[in-house]
Structure 1
């Protein structure tokens, strides 16, 4: 059975606590995928010290030299892509087709940031002194703490670690316990690429111990976090108090607007994909759908029909469309919100039931027809396959309702009207906008992040990543 050891200063190590915990397959609860260590602050301190000692030599390498390491990691990971996808699918329940795609994306992210090592890091700025040269350059933060969630166990760790490394930082990562084994498989690729000892380190364990310990550690210069709002705010508050740089990507309650002139088939299929792929366990997943009154009856009928046709089952079976919830607690949360929706008067028109009880944490893709936007299922992030469906009289009404939540991560609209598209771009309160495409979709070369309570207002991925992982130095030379 695979055990997720810590990776500290270039070596795999057992925690001093001796405590381990098993990870089971959420789609087959009788299968133990492996175990991870519940480390303590002693282990974390060793990892941070190793990263701190390694940061000077890593910083002094050229960007192209650091990029060569990332290219090598990508090549190794490509050779092991099926193994990594299989572990990821077993650990968190995402279908094998989706984890294969995610692993391919992780490889592409590594290669993208490897190329960043050859791109510019500053600008020449005219000085008022004609005999002087003034320019900017960028320098790494130092040691970066990476705290990642379970829902994208391959892509998110890589889209944080790769830019951190290419811009000259060293890394200590604390992966989600639910997908610690997947993270170890990724770290094995870094290890086999022979990165210098201490440049990348991994410590598994409880978020309240290791995650909070990263936020509090005086030698951690920056923290990048993806996860829940409650934990993110705690991490940000702790980092702020000691002056560390922090980046938070948190929840979403993402709307889709379907105008009366939309292509019905495209809008329905995109809504289903955005809402139910990954069992709705994406921060960009479609959660609320606002449909023009003229096409509402046809849209509703087709949406329900297609939803009821989706095959829910074994994540590793090639024909499965949707797998289980990632854990028993996540299933319980979804069922609790469904019961809340019924109690508050929303009409359940599809799904809503736990299924395959004897196998794992499965639930039907669920649709509520709603008329009251103040209901809990229309306001709070569920992180499961649940849609709140609304009929609206205009795009303006839809925009008003779409903005009536505390989140602002992603949003999409389906329309052929250029004026409506531009109004949407101007008025929607979200960081990622998609037109005639599902709300869930992030491209690695483009900035990603939200507004309002979805983000600390920084951006990940693409060239925008350099804004977080580096600081600017302005140089006046005479």
Structure 2
């Protein structure tokens, strides 16, 4: 019997652990890092709870030591994808009929495991496969992943509590059904927490999932999947199908049972998926929900009244943490001339002291970029700037892929506000700066707004309240997450729901009720109490 009414689930953000030398958590993490590097893993597909090995394999490589292979994974083909669809549909009836408290309990259990005995596993896998420092991994694969699970549970309870008004004669209620088919979750390489949330949030709402993780980070995604299993997730609810994007997508997007896409990745891939859905629209049993977060060309604007110290910190951390491979990373900056004259030397000196290298060394600030394709793309932008009469490299510009895919933090100065690196997404540790006359602040706001088709994040640094107000008004459509006197990265679940518009995505705000409601199909029930 289920007749309980839960008024509120408590939520509190998971504290960040510092991993000080010789601390218990540091030693646990180091032991797990050693284990992963010295134990070669064979990662299967997991479909309907069964492990499947196709023999068509990809490699799990450490980006900052790319000659080191720590495992291999099996790739799904058309046959395995069709099987995954069938298993997701088979599991759906029982899963959606399970009381919501039981579904939520599984992910609350996953959060507790991630906060405890699984923390080192998650962080070590993220550090090695994504070349994240200990701090960046802790924020991502521990704290944010835990927060997603717990806050989604909190939001689901709030949504289910939202009921329509009834009258003396009529009782109205809403039933929050899951969508009718299956969800296709496609996760990126850069955040383990995003990968976990892309499949977990629709599942918590009662949907069953096909999960295709990024090929470069199958290892860390597999650890998340095993966490789900340890927490008690039933077979077939989430089906793990790494493989080649095109081959998997062609089969998934042509299935009549596709009911939703939960995506984070490149704008081009998302556009191609949307096009495929449009081409198949008459074949579906329902209109698929399409939720995506894609690219960004994120900005920092410094007004003449900006606090110099905060600005320098925002420029460095916003641009170079995790090698600039955050969707929210700052990539262009517009700085008032009076401010630039005061901060230039300090900024360059601090950037020159950034340590790039092995992420296991405690004082490393930046690791390697994710793979050879990314390295080559970033290097081409840097070389373009080196050879251009419109730009000057102030610091950085070095890159070396002999042992790892290393790109030094790079600052480009340009007098052309439409220079290539001011407009195009780079997704690496490259910041381009344009200096403007103090009196042209209003014009710079307009320029910033009109420069990019992306609208993910942006920051304004100013003490002048009128300047802040003007920026908020002029840049209203330029960023889904707008920051005042702080870097444009580091959104915290429950505090800054994340997402952007324009070509940055559908702005459905991961880590909020806005996202979760997309995986529900409300049914309104009206009951006449007074029968004439």
TM over 0.5: yes
Instruction: Report whether the alignment pairs 1:443 with 2:487.
Output: no
Asked if 2 retains the 8 angstrom alpha-carbon contact of 1:222 and 1:244, the reply is yes
CA distance in 1, matches of 2:238, 2:60: 24
Cα distance in 2 between the residues matched to 1:213 and 1:303: 50
Cα-to-partner distance string for 1:261-318 (whole Å, 9 max, x where unaligned): 1111111011100100010011100000111121111222222111111000001111
For residues 268 and 225 of structure 1, the distance between their equivalents in structure 2, rounded to whole angstroms, comes to 33
- In the other structure, the counterpart of 1:349 is 394
Give the match for residue 97 of structure 1.
Answer: 135
- Residue 422 of structure 1 is matched in structure 2 by 469
Partner Cα separation in structure 2 for residue 216 and residue 376 of structure 1: 37
**Matched residue SS, 1:30:** strand
Q: Deviations over 1:333-356 (max 9, x none)?
A: 00101122233321111101114x
Which residue of structure 1 aligns with residue 158 of structure 2?
A: 119
Q: Per-residue displacement from partner, 1:36-67 (whole Å, max 9, x unpaired)?
A: 11220111111121111111211112221111
Question: Does the 8 Å CA contact 1:212/1:235 hold for their aligned counterparts?
Answer: no
Secondary structure in 1 aligned to 2:258? Answer: coil
Q: Does 1:65 align with 2:109?
A: no
Q: CA deviation at 1:197?
A: 1.4
Distance in 2 (alpha carbons) for counterparts of 1:77 and 1:43? 29
Distance of 1:95 and 1:212 partners within structure 2: 36
Greater shift in the superposed pair: 458-467 or 115-124: 115-124
TM-score (ref. length: structure 2): 0.85
Q: Which residue of 1 aligns with 2:121?
A: 83
Correspondences of 1:2-151 after superposition (within 5 Å):
2-15=41-54, 18-78=55-115, 79-104=117-142, 105-121=144-160, 123-126=162-165, 131-142=169-180, 143-151=182-190
Aligned to 1:309: 353
Tell me how many residue pairs correspond in the alignment: 473
Is the CA contact (8 Å cut-off) linking 2:340 and 2:435 kept in structure 1? yes
Return the offset for 1:113: 2.0
**Which moves more between the two structures, 299-308 or 182-191?**
299-308
C-alpha distance in structure 1 between counterparts of 2:524 and 2:387, whole Å: 59
Is 2:76–2:243's contact at 8 Å kept on the other side of the alignment? yes
Distance across 1 between alignment mates of 2:470 and 2:175:
39
2:151·2:511 contact (CA, 8 Å) conserved in 1? Answer: no
5 Å matches for 1:394-413?
A: 394-403=440-449, 404-413=451-460
Distance (Å, rounded) in 1 between the aligned partners of 2:397 and 2:175: 55
Whole-angstrom distance in 1 between the partners of 2:222 and 2:479: 34
> Which residue of structure 1 lines up, in the alignment, with residue 224 of structure 2?
186
Matching residue within 253, 268, 278 for 1:240 = 278
CA contact (8 A) 1:123 1:135 kept: no
Question: Is 1:290 aligned with 2:290?
Answer: no
| Mapped contact 1:92–1:327 kept (Cα < 8 A) | no
Give 2:515's match in structure 1, choosing from 453, 461, 465: 465
197-206 vs 455-464, which moves further = 455-464
Residues 155 and 512, structure 2, Cα contact 8 Å, conserved in 1: no
Matches within 5 A, 1:265-280: 265-280=309-324
Cα drift, residue 125 of structure 1:
3.6
- 2:242 aligned with 1:198: no
How far apart, CA to CA, are the structure 2 residues paired with 1:308 and 1:164?
Answer: 44
Deviates more, 1:400-409 or 1:284-293: 400-409
| Deviations 1:110-133, CA, capped at 9 Å, x for gaps | 122233443342644457x86223
Q: After TM superposition, give the deviation of residue 92 of structure 1 in Å.
A: 2.0
1:332 maps to 376
Task: Find 1:209's aligned residue among 247, 268, 284.
Answer: 247
The answer (yes or no) to whether the contact 2:45–2:75 under 8 Å persists in 1 is no
- More displaced stretch, 421-430 vs 212-221: 212-221
Shift of 1:12: 2.0
Question: How far has the Cα of 1:159 moved from its partner?
Answer: 2.1
1:299 aligns with 2:343: yes
1:373 and 1:407 mapped to 2: Cα distance? 16
Moved more, 91-100 or 194-203: 91-100
- TM-score, reference length from structure 1: 0.95
Matched, 1:477 2:521: no
Q: Does residue 1:368 correspond to 2:405, yes or no?
A: no
Structure 1 equivalent of residue 504 of structure 2: 454
Quickly say closer, same or farther: Cα 1:192–1:373, change in 2 above 3 A: same
CA distance in structure 1 between the partners assigned to 2:100 and 2:239 by the alignment? 20
Q: Is the 8 A contact 1:447 1:463 kept in 2?
A: no
CA offsets per residue over residues 133-178 of structure 1, 9 Å max, x none?
33433221142110011011x1111222232122111111000000
2: CA distance, partners of 1:316 / 1:212: 39
> Does the 8 A contact of 2:304 with 2:462 survive in 1?
yes
Confirm or deny that 1:262 pairs with 2:312.
no
